[in-house]
Amino acid sequence: MIEGIWQGEYVYDEYCKVPFQQVTIPFTLSIRQSGVMGMSGGLEGVWQDDSAISNITMPANVYGLAKDNSLFFVKLYPKTFGYDESGNLFVGDEAHPEIFYTGMLWKDDIFHGTWRIERTFRKVNGRLYQILAGSGMWWIKKV
Report residue 16's pLDDT band, with 50, 70 and 90 as the boundaries.
Answer: low
Q: Over the chain, what HEC string results?
A: CCCEEEEEEEEECCCCCCCCCCCCEEEEEEEEECCECCECCEEEEEEEECHHHHCCCCCEEEEEEEECCEEEEEEECCCEEEECCCCCEEEECCCCCCEEEEEEEEECCEEEEEEEECCEEEEECCEEEEECCEEEEEEEEEC
Q: pTM of the prediction? A: 0.89
Q: What is the pLDDT of residue 5?
A: 97
- What CATH fold (topology level) applies to the domain 4-142? Lipocalin (2.40.128)
Q: What is the pLDDT of residue 25?
A: 92
84: pLDDT strictly greater than 70? yes
117: pLDDT strictly greater than 80? yes
77: pLDDT strictly greater than 70? yes
33-55 per-position pLDDT tens digit: 887 666 788 999 999 999 998 88
101: pLDDT strictly greater than 80? yes
Mean pLDDT of the residues in the chain: 89
Boundaries of every domain in the chain:
4-142
10: pLDDT strictly greater than 90? yes
